Amino acid sequence: MSGPSNVKEQPITDLRQLVEFHASGARPREQWAIGTEHEKFGFRLDDLRPPTYEGERGIEAMLRGLTRFGWQPVEEKGKLIALLRDSASVTLEPAGQLELSGAPLENIHDTCCETSLHLKEVKTVAEELGLGFLGMGFQPKWRRDEMPWMPKGRYKIMREYMPKRGNLGLDMMTRTCTVQVNLDFANEAHMAKQFRVSLALQPIATALFADSPFTEGKPNGFQSFRSNIWTDTDPDRTGMLDFVFDEGFGFERYVDYLLDVPMYFVYRNGEYIDASGQSFRDFLKGKLPALPGALPTLKDWADHMTTAFPEVRLKKYLEMRGADGGPWNRLCALPAFWVGLLYDDAALDAAWDLVKDFSMEERHALRDGVPRHALKLPFRGATVRELALEALKISGQGLARRNRLNRTGASEAVFLEPLIEFALANETPAERKLKLFHGEWGGSIDPLFREFAY
Cα distance between residue 153 and residue 306, in whole Å: 15
Domain contains 219: yes
Domain contains 6: no
Amino acid letter, residue 63: L
- Looking at residue 7, what is its pLDDT? 72
Read off the pLDDT of residues 188-222 as tens digits, 9 standing for 90 and up: 999 999 999 999 999 999 999 999 999 999 999 99
Q: Model-level pTM greater than 0.95?
A: yes
Domain contains 9: no
Question: Domain holding 243: CATH number?
Answer: 3.30.590.20
Domain contains 11: no
CA quadruple 24, 265, 94, 237: dihedral sign: negative
pLDDT 10s digit of each residue in the chain, 454 long?
445 556 778 999 999 999 999 999 999 999 999 999 999 999 999 999 999 999 999 999 999 999 999 999 999 999 999 999 999 999 999 999 999 999 999 999 999 999 999 999 999 999 999 999 999 999 999 999 999 999 999 999 999 999 999 999 999 999 999 999 999 999 999 999 999 999 999 999 999 999 999 999 999 999 999 999 999 999 999 999 999 999 999 999 999 999 999 999 999 999 999 999 999 999 999 999 999 999 999 999 999 999 999 999 999 999 999 999 999 999 999 999 999 999 999 999 999 999 999 999 999 999 999 999 999 999 999 999 999 999 999 999 999 999 999 999 999 999 999 999 999 999 999 999 999 999 999 999 999 999 999 9
Cα separation values, 205 from 51, 236, 371, Å: 30, 23, 11
Cα distance between residue 174 and residue 188, in whole Å: 35
Cα separation values, 157 from 75, 77, 261, 290, Å: 18, 16, 16, 13
Asked if residue 274 lies in contact with residue 290, where contact means CB atoms within 8 angstroms, the answer is: yes
* Chain mean pLDDT for the chain: 97
Kindly tell me the burial class for residue 223, based on how many C-beta atoms sit within 10 Å of its own C-beta (0-12, 13-18, 19 or more). buried
Share of the chain above pLDDT 70, in %: 98
What is the number of domains present in the chain? 1
Domain contains 317: yes
Read off the pLDDT of residues 34-52 as tens digits, 9 standing for 90 and up: 999 999 999 999 999 999 9
Buried b (16+ CB within 10 A) or exposed e, 136-150: bbbbbbbeeeebbbb
Domain contains 5: no
Domain contains 8: no
For residue 254, the enclosing domain spans 16-451
Domain contains 4: no
